[in-house]
Amino acid sequence: MSSAIANSIQLLMEVSSIISKVIEFNEKVFGIEQRNGIVRIKIHRDVLPYVAQKLATTKGIYMRTMMASDERDLEGVYRLYYLFGIDREHINIVLEVAVPQEDPKVPTIVDIIKAADWYELEAHDMLGIEFIDRRLYRLVLPEDWPEKVYPLRKEYSVQDLMKLYRPKAVEYAKEIGAENIVVIPIGPYHPALHEPEFFEVYVSGERVIDAKYVGFMVHRGIEKLGENMKYDQVPFLAERICGICGFVHSTSYCQAVESALNTDVPERAQFIRSIILEIERIHSHLLWFGVALHLLGYDTGFMHSWRIREQVMVLAELLTGSRKTYGINVVGGVRRDIDNDKIRKAIEVLKNVEDEFKKLVEISINIPQVIARLKGTGVLPLGEAIALSLVGPTARGSGLDRDVRRDYPYAAYRYISFRVPTYSEGDNLARTLVRVDEVFESINMLYQLLDKVPSGEIRVESWTVEPYRLGVGSVEAPRGEVIHVLLTGRYSPYRWRVRAPTYQNLPAVSIMLKGVDLADVPLTIASIDPCFSCTDRAIVIDIGRSVIKTIPIEFLSLKGSKAIR
């Protein structure tokens, strides 16, 4: 028996086992459909907790994301799509739960699956779905958002929402006759930063007792905007979701559409996508490594890391025409080819990057002060990583061996060999070493990809849309897996759900911060490589002295440790 046939049989047995557990609920299961590696199971909302329990207690299955959709104009219901993955089996199990519009309530599964917390809160904010037996509060929308206005309901356009909501600060400005003056918020985030974030850190002496994250201060309405754009316009929008790793989003979106439409992408285009994705991973990790060294006070290492990264940015421009937001992804392939001269130049650059980064790592990782600040700080146990369904280097640094490139092969990753670096310590050093190893691994992968680029077309010239098909696209971004879930419309996505890795990893930060010294807070937060700009100050509440004060980030990062010269 061939290995391919054996794998197929094993796959069918795995799916059958899962389905048999669900069928136990008999009349509460309305349909099961399998297509393109997606098993869709329609269930009654009453049995959601029980089915979720069955999946959650099956080894190797984890919750990847959840999409809430307004489908009242289709079937008179809202619908929740709970997406579960089977590790290394390349299968997605989607639980579909219809929610009546006249009674939009669903049992919570947070007490069963910890990772579902933010998804339920977001569905409540954006669609007005109530989750029974849990505390609901604002997550995405501001506290002064108008009641009974749910942005992702189909009756609201982007223009409607802009008219319906005016922040209280704007209303106050009108009252005092200052409506023509720009209102600049000086508070949780600095106006010069690209993205806002805010952490409340509770300390006793110099030790962190607890921490709270407050986010979602800027909502760009990406998913809503995508509903009004043509399919091949959306990749340009998707690529702007993240300023560092935008190509992973455009690739994931294209894969979701291609999955829904059952479109075969030419092999040459698949290779080009993988090449750009790995180049993006290298420059992202080099950026992070430099920032980490800066937070540790080793600015010489920071500058060398970014100097090496500059070569990668120039290479990206050579291959795509742009240092960032490459604009080469389209549904069905790519719009820009790579010739032999560019392949030769890419190999030269990669060899130089490999040599220079190896020297930098040998020096910086062996500096006693660097090791002292990294080792044993920001510990995240494996059990918590599993419970929160963490992804990327954050998960792999805690021993959770999870990587979409291997577990759900896409693009050209099935044609090359590579290893997935993991460490079991779960501290800041482990997460650092994962990224260091991944840089070298990505370079090795690029050598293979550049050597094996096949001839042929780079895109499918035409494809036909079949409305209301479900597609899933997932890509291993530098920070972890990005997932785009899409329900097709006739000319535009009917519903487009984006789940970035930071969304999945941020709930773990409060766990990682407990018990660390105040000086190690900035690096511990940065260790998940969060997708927001570093804030320049934090509020510290000293329980013992009953004092609230703001402290510059530079003071926090260097306090208790001598700056490395």
pLDDT tens digits, one per residue of 140-173: 888 788 899 999 999 988 888 878 876 665 565 5
- The pLDDT score that the predictor gives to residue 178 is 54
3 state SS for 229-270 = CCCCCHHHHHCCCCCCCHHHHHHHHHHHHHHHHCCCCCHHHH
CA angle, residues 209, 212, 215, in degrees to nearest 5: 160
Average pLDDT in the 159-188 region? 59
- The pLDDT score that the predictor gives to residue 187 is 39
- The pLDDT score that the predictor gives to residue 536 is 32
411 in any annotated domain: yes
pTM score: 0.87
563 in any annotated domain: no
DSSP state of 517: B
- The pLDDT score that the predictor gives to residue 535 is 29
> Quick one: pLDDT band at residue 3, thresholds 50, 70, 90?
low
Residues 518 and 499 in one domain: no
Whether residue 492 contacts residue 231, with contact meaning beta carbons closer than 8 Å, is answered with: yes
Residues 31 and 125 in one domain: yes
Cα atoms found within 13 Å of the Cα of residue 163, Cβ hemisphere only? 5
Is the pLDDT at 184 greater than 50? The verdict is no
Is the pLDDT at 24 greater than 80? The verdict is no
Residues 29 and 95 in one domain: yes
293 in any annotated domain: yes
- The pLDDT score that the predictor gives to residue 423 is 97
Average pLDDT in the 164-192 region? 52
- The pLDDT score that the predictor gives to residue 274 is 98
Average pLDDT in the 51-60 region? 87
324 in any annotated domain: yes
pLDDT tens digits, one per residue of 347-405: 999 999 999 999 999 999 989 989 999 999 999 999 999 999 999 999 999 999 999 99
Whether residue 470 contacts residue 38, with contact meaning beta carbons closer than 8 Å, is answered with: yes
- The pLDDT score that the predictor gives to residue 135 is 94
Residues 202 and 343 in one domain: no
For all residues of the chain together, what is the average pLDDT?
A: 86
Q: What is the CATH number of the domain that holds 264?
A: 1.10.645.10
Q: Quote the percentage of the chain above a pLDDT of 70.
A: 84
State how many domains the chain has: 4
190 in any annotated domain: no
- The pLDDT score that the predictor gives to residue 181 is 42
Is the pLDDT at 188 greater than 80? The verdict is no
Q: For tokens 């106006």, name the residue.
A: 191
Residues 39 and 102 in one domain: yes
- The pLDDT score that the predictor gives to residue 313 is 96
Average pLDDT in the 105-134 region? 96
Residues 271 and 409 in one domain: yes
Q: Which of 314-318, 523-527, 536-540 shows the lowest mean pLDDT across its residues?
A: 536-540
Instruction: Answer positive or negative: Cα dihedral of 198, 373, 513, 113.
Output: positive
Residues 377 and 524 in one domain: no
3-state secondary structure at position 38:
strand
Q: In the chain, what is the straight-line distance between the N-terminal and C-terminal CA atoms, in Å?
A: 62
> 126, 157, 183 — which closes off a domain?
183
User: Of 329, 336, 337, 335, which Cα lies nearest the Cα of 255?
Assistant: 329
Phi then psi for residue 552, to 5 deg, are: -60, 145
189 in any annotated domain: no
Residues 357 and 488 in one domain: yes
DSSP state of 226: H
How does DSSP assign 286-344, residue by residue? HHHHHHHHHHTT-HHHHHHHHHHHHHHHHHHHHHHSSSS----EETTEES----HHHHH
3-state secondary structure at position 460:
coil
Identity at 44, one-letter amino acid code: H
pLDDT tens digits, one per residue of 189-239: 433 334 566 777 888 888 888 888 877 766 678 888 999 899 999 999 999
> Quick one: pLDDT band at residue 29, thresholds 50, 70, 90?
confident
* Host domain of residue 495: 222-505
User: Of 292, 495, 527, which Cα lies nearest the Cα of 393?
Assistant: 527
Q: Which residues contact 306 (CB under 8 A, 6 or more apart)?
A: 286, 287, 290
pLDDT tens digits, one per residue of 451-495: 999 999 999 988 999 999 999 999 999 999 999 999 999 999 999
Residues 460 and 343 in one domain: yes
> Quick one: pLDDT band at residue 261, thresholds 50, 70, 90?
very high
> Quick one: pLDDT band at residue 6, thresholds 50, 70, 90?
low
- The pLDDT score that the predictor gives to residue 13 is 65
| CA of residue 265 relative to chain centroid, distance | 24
Pick the residue with more confidence: 548 or 76? 76
- The pLDDT score that the predictor gives to residue 172 is 57
Residues 265 and 414 in one domain: yes
What are the Cα distances from residue 435, in Å, to 359, 371, 428, 438, 528? 16, 15, 11, 5, 11
Q: For tokens 């001598």, name the residue.
A: 562
Q: Strands 91-100, 29-35: parallel, antiparallel or unpaired by DSSP?
A: unpaired
CA–CA distance, 561 with 557 (Å, rounded to integer): 8
Residues 499 and 514 in one domain: no
Q: Which residues contact 271 (CB under 8 A, 6 or more apart)?
A: 411, 412, 415, 449, 452, 453, 454
Is the pLDDT at 245 greater than 70? The verdict is yes
Average pLDDT in the 279-300 region? 94
Average pLDDT in the 40-66 region? 91
> Quick one: pLDDT band at residue 554, thresholds 50, 70, 90?
very low
What are the Cα distances from residue 167, in Å, to 147, 155, 189, 276? 14, 22, 17, 40
321 in any annotated domain: yes
104 in any annotated domain: yes
What are the Cα distances from residue 260, in Å, to 80, 257, 386, 489? 18, 5, 29, 11
Q: Which of 243-257, 311-325, 350-364, 531-545 shows the lowest mean pLDDT across its residues?
A: 531-545
Residues 213 and 226 in one domain: no
